[in-house]
Chains A and B, each alone.
Chain A
C-alpha cells in the first residue's frame, strides 16, 4: 500500500507552480542563491498577514528563508544556499503559515518547485536529465524525485562525460540498458496513484509500452516475474532499435 502526502483535512490551499517563480543566481565562491517572485491568484485569496517561507532542499538537507508576509513579501538579506547538498537538483517548498490564529498551521503550500532555468527546454522534452557530479568512485547513478524526471548522474571526473554518453558506443551499450531497467523498476514499484496524465512515471510507461512487444502487466499485478519479463522485453527492444551491441562491437573492431 502506498502512503501519499495528500492528506488535507485542514483545507490547506495548494499553491500552483505559476504562482511562484524562482530563479537561481550566483552568490560567489560557487554557492548559488535564488530570487523569488510571487503572484498569488486572487480567486483563492491568501491572508495578507500570513507568514511566507521558502525552504530549499535536496535529499536530507534543507535551508529555510523568511520572506515576511504573503501580502508583502520581503526577501531575506541572503538567499545563498549554504546548507544544501548541491550534488543534485535543489528543489523549493513554499509555505504560507498562520501565526496569528491557529499557530503554525499551513494555510497554503507548494512542494517540489524547481528554479527557472534549472530545467532546460531539452530537459523538459526528454525522459531523463543528465548531470555530471562528484560520485566518488561510482561511474554513474540514477536519482529519483517524485516531481522531477529521473536524473542520470555521471561522475564529473570522467572527461566530457555527457558527450561520451551521447557519442561513445561503450557508454551507450553498457550504461543505457541498465538505466532503462532501473527506471522502469522504480516506476512500477512506486507508481501507485502517481501515474497521472502529466507525471514522468506516465511518460516512461508510455515509452516502454510503445517499445515492448508484449502487453504491460496490470498495475495491480504482484507477480514480479511478469513484471521482469515485460521490462526485459522493453529493454531488449530498445537495445535492438539503437543497435547498442552492434555499435559497441564495431567500435571495438576499430580500436
Chain B
C-alpha cells in the first residue's frame, strides 16, 4: 500500500521519543502509528512523496525504495528535516525494531529513529543515512547495507562515524571492492575481524594517514586501491 509521507511536528516527535523510551523500560505497546496521520502530531509536506509499506529484506532495499520515491523531486529542503526523517522511521518502525513474540522490542539508541540535532549522531539515523548512501553510491553501498532493516553492521558503524570518508567516492568505491562479496550478497568474511589483516579498522587507519598527504575527494576507486599496502591483498578482488 502506498502512503503519502508527512512530517512529525514537535508534539509528534516528543510522543515518538517517549514511546521509544517506554520500550527501553520494557513496555510492549505497539508502535504509535496514529501519529503518522493525526494532524495534532504530524503535518503535510510541501513536496508530495509516496512510500510503500511492503517488507524490506535489507537496508539497501529501503534506500532503493526511497531513491525511487524521491526521483525527480528537489529533496534539498527536506535533507535536514527532522520531522520528515523521523516520520519515515516511525512508518517503518516495525521493520526497524520488530516486536518479539511477546510484544517486547529492543530499540537502538533514539537517534537511530529520531534524526538528531547533534551532527555527530546524524549519520546513525536508520533511514536518512541509508538513503544518502544508496542515492550517492548505488550498489557500491551494498557492503554497508546488506543486513536486515533492524540490524546495523560493524562496517557502517565504523564508516558512519567518519563522515568525511563517507563523502569520498573513491574511498567508498575502494571499500566496496575490498569488502563486498557478491556471492554471499553481503560483506566478506573477516572484513570486521580485528584479528584479520586488512580489516575495516585498519583501512580507516590507513585512510587517516593518506589524508595527510592526499586529497581523498580527488582520488578514484582505482587510485585508492592502487595505494593500499600488501595486507589488503586477501580482500582485493581478483584481476
Q: Which A residues are closer than 8 A to B by beta carbons? A: 5, 7-10, 12, 51, 53, 58-62, 64, 82, 84-85, 87, 95, 97, 99, 103-106, 134
Contacts and interface: CB of A to CB of B under 8 A. Distances in A.
B213 A51 contact: no
Given A62-B163, A64-B167, A95 B119 contact: no
B212 A104 contact: no
B4 interface: no
Contacts, number: 54
Contact of B218 (A62, A85, A103): A103
25 contacts: A51-B218, A58-B119, A59-B119, A59-B120, A60-B119, A60-B120, A60-B162, A60-B163, A61-B119, A62-B163, A62-B164, A64-B167, A64-B217, A82-B80, A85-B118, A85-B119, A87-B119, A97-B215, A103-B220, A104-B219, A105-B213, A105-B214, A106-B213, A106-B214, A134-B117
Interface residues of B, number: 21
A142 B220 CA distance: 39
Query: In terms of DSSP, what is the predominant structure of the interface of chain B?
Result: loop
B231 interface: no
Contacts of A104: 214-216, 218-219, 223
Nearest to B213: A10
A24 B80 CA distance: 22
Given A7-B212, A103-B223, A53 B120 contact: no
Contact of A99 (B79, B118, B164, B218): B218
Interface of B: 79-80, 117-120, 161-164, 167, 212-220, 223
